[in-house]
Structure 1
């Protein structure tokens, strides 16, 4: 799926050092390739012979069975010896081999162990950094796309479906924002929910994209197609990142004081209790004159500035996120869908997993959604594995 097919950008020198090691390992592994192939071929031949014996035993008489059993035991003995030799690669017991064979076995074992370790480190650092698999808190945004009032109603229906899903998975969720029914009066235009729980990201990541609904509105006789856009944000990571950004230094601030205006007596006009703070890097300005104390007003102004900066940087992160999802074309266009909910035929069709479920109302209750997400997670992780291996091979081949 699109989420797992993003290109991984290669950061910093440490990662290059890691992949230089992989290149060396790759070169060493070439030298031992023939040995590995011989061992694999030997094991395959043994296994085929063993399977052939098992089939042959069933069709022979008692005397033949005894002979076959002896041959089978010999093959099993050879197989056991092979496995013992492979286990010896992890020990210092190479007494039966000459020095060259000992060194070759040690190198082969070291290559295998080091390569596995490098892949694990790569996965933990770069892959997880792109896919946020370690987070236990996400923010979901459900925004009506094309379709006017029908898109709004469908977004609410999607939220009910995810609410049922959270209850079945024992996830904690908190609704931060609900869609206002009358959008013409400048009300809320999307649903925002914070969700916490085990494996929460990898589950909800499967829902990112355009959801399309086809049904006949109550006040119409024609089929209408509408959409809703679902986005997932790694809230925990964003909070940690933004917390660092809003911890500004004194040199970032321009603080001015002046006399407060309005009612308040002579002291208000005589003392400069109004505090104005400008954040130089962003040019965000706050001004506070709530109290007759300059110190209190300054404290209030700083907290207000932190809040504004948080919102400012959060929107920046959101822009970066949406650019990163450009391959998904999240414009809300009807043709850019990951799933279709067809009320006319009472069916839900997922275009990523290429499956469909009947009984659309049951799907919204959450049971079928759990089945679908589990199916899509397999695709998700397979894409991650492919992405990781392709990247490592491309680096090793340079």
Structure 2
């Protein structure tokens, strides 16, 4: 018995990509880094190719066999970026000449695969598997934190927590770890963060107090979104966008451009598209008969959901600023291709015989 072919997932993905290109065109129009639109258009086309190749050419069990290789590759690149990295005030990218590569994006993907690999294994000593999962997440989180990249560090912790929880193999251990995390969060906040990182996390609670510093971007984004009203000012007609009042409006704060020029209707339309995409990911996850696939697809769902909620939340002043991109909308090549690759894996678990997973586990 065959499942129906899945058309909705790629339709939602492409719709968001087109949405993103339109908003990015407006954010970079004129003399303000216009070349970025052309580069992003190339990245979108390459991302579509990656999606198709991953969904229909690469075998599912390839990712299980590559999980350990990718873990080591991630560690090597995360160490390398600390010495070779480029960026303003941080070392997050490795310059490859024709493009830049962000190792933390590979690390997020690699951790999902690795956790899926170890958690789907049959083992008498499940404490060993749990410890291995904690160790891998801790190494990634530590290396990414040194860049420094607080947002991606948080995502690593979220991936580990959600995937470990969804595996349903460590319920008692997760209760203890949840209590431990709750205890250490305030300790890390007080003694483990740099002053500017602490200010960013505090600024969303009282933006006016940090109006000229950590909360400046957020306040400007809120003003831009608020000025859009119901229908928006119109494409290329956003005053705050055109005059550059919102910093990083083509990356972290691109949602403010959408809110200003497309208004409440445009903003809600994008949120609906993301909701539909997440619905398809979760529906496919629930139907897969592969334990490895179920865990990996759950991790992919968590990554997409966190990126969307966190980015939109920080644009609206509801969540702290953490530098998390909006999937397929914010400018960025490596993130766009990794997102597309992950959706390609999700797509590969559709339209195949139900018995396939049991035969190839």
TM > 0.5: no
TM-score by length of 1: 0.19
TM-score by length of 2: 0.20
Q: Which has the higher contact order (CA 8 A, sep 6+)?
A: 2
Greater Rg by CA: 1
Instruction: Name the structure with the higher helix share.
Output: 2
